Amino acid sequence: MHMPDGLINAPVSIGAGVLVAGAVAVSLKKTKGSLDSQTAPMAGLVAVFIFAAQMINFPVAAGTSGHLMGGALAAILVGPWVAVLVMTVVVGIQALVFADGGLSALGINILNMGIVTVIVGTLVFALTMKVLSKTKSSIVAASAIAAFISVPAAALAFVIEYYLGGNATYDPMTVLISVVGVHLLIGIGEAIITALTVGAILATRADLVDGARKFLPKQKLIIKDSVVS
């Protein structure tokens, strides 16, 4: 959910903005250092993918439906550094071009939906893969767990911001229980969709899944003498 202006006070909003700027600076440095330094077109298309994937409606029941947030998915697919940049751009464009989310809350929205989800998703995925066997099905399972945790983690980040600078009179404890509680449910949906999507990509282009690359055996290039008919 994109926060509007006025819900969180100015100092906390600016503080969130500073954290975002820091995370983006680190991510820019990390992606610049990587082998393919000119990743902009690829990252741009991944941003469109996240943007479009958020538009796929997953019907739940009785006319309600949910959609993906995509932070953990992006982290697993393209790695945390590119994912931070991609999610920052997606949330930023939503605010500036689509008027979705307050301008003063831009830092908060990017932090919660773009950075916390990516960091938590990455960490949970890495930790889960440490325990599990290094197979495709465990990559799918780890994606599910990472996506599941990332959603209430984003909600928790909001509750912390609310505790520090919320302009509302709801008791922070009540907000904690209700907001995180609801997002545990949303997290289940996010987990299923993320796992199924990662599974679908692993089945056809496993080499594109950044999180899977180091766990799967390197594919050998085989050149055969003649075409077997």
Partner 1 sequence: MKLSPERVVLDTNNAHEHGHGVGDHLYVHRHSLVHDLPAQVKTVAAIVFIFVVVLTPVHAVGAFAVYLGLVFVVVKIADLPFPLVLRRMLIEIPFVLFAVLMPFFGPEPRVEFLGLSLSQEGLWSAFGILAKGTIGVATSITLAATTRARDLLQGLETIGVPDLLVQIASFMLRYSAVVTDDLSRMKVARESRGFSATGVKHWKVLANSAGALFIRSYERGERVHLAMLSRGYNGTIIDLYKPVVTKKDWRTAMALPIVAASIMVIAWITL
- Residue 64 binds partner 1, judged by CB under 8 A: no
- Binder to partner 1 among 16, 69, 75, 77 (CB under 8 A)? 77
- Residue 178 binds partner 1, judged by CB under 8 A: no
- Binder to partner 1 among 15, 71, 80, 102 (CB under 8 A)? 102
C-alpha distances in Å from residue 68, one per residue of 28, 54, 80, 99 = 25, 5, 18, 20
- Binder to partner 1 among 43, 110, 119, 142 (CB under 8 A)? 43
- Residue 140 binds partner 1, judged by CB under 8 A: no
Tokens of 63: 């006319």
Bridge partners (DSSP) of residue 66 are 58
**Which listed range, 116-124, 127-135, 188-196, 214-222, lies at the site for partner 1 (CB under 8 A)?**
188-196
- Residue 35 binds partner 1, judged by CB under 8 A: no
In whole angstroms, the minimum distance from the beta carbon of 154 to partner 1 comes to: 16
Q: How many other CB atoms sit within 10 Å of the CB of residue 50?
A: 23
Please tell me the distance from the alpha carbon of residue 70 to that of residue 193, in angstroms, as a whole number: 9
- Residue 227 binds partner 1, judged by CB under 8 A: no
Is residue 102 within 8 A of residue 6, CB to CB? The reply is: yes
- Residue 39 or residue 127: which is nearer to partner 1 going by CB? 39
- Residue 185 binds partner 1, judged by CB under 8 A: no
- Residue 23 binds partner 1, judged by CB under 8 A: no
- Binder to partner 1 among 18, 26, 34, 52 (CB under 8 A)? 52
Please tell me the distance from the alpha carbon of residue 144 to that of residue 224, in angstroms, as a whole number: 39
**Which listed range, 6-14, 118-126, 146-154, 212-220, lies at the site for partner 1 (CB under 8 A)?**
6-14
Classified as helix, coil or strand, 101 is coil
Rg of the Cα atoms in the chain: 19
Q: Classify residue 179 by its DSSP letter.
A: H
Bridge partners (DSSP) of residue 205 are none
- Residue 87 binds partner 1, judged by CB under 8 A: no
Q: CA torsion, points 109, 80, 98, 15, in degrees to nearest 10? A: 30
- Binder to partner 1 among 22, 26, 100, 134 (CB under 8 A)? 100
- Residue 89 or residue 149: which is nearer to partner 1 going by CB? 89
In whole angstroms, the minimum distance from the beta carbon of 144 to partner 1 comes to: 12
Is residue 158 within 8 A of residue 3, CB to CB? The reply is: yes
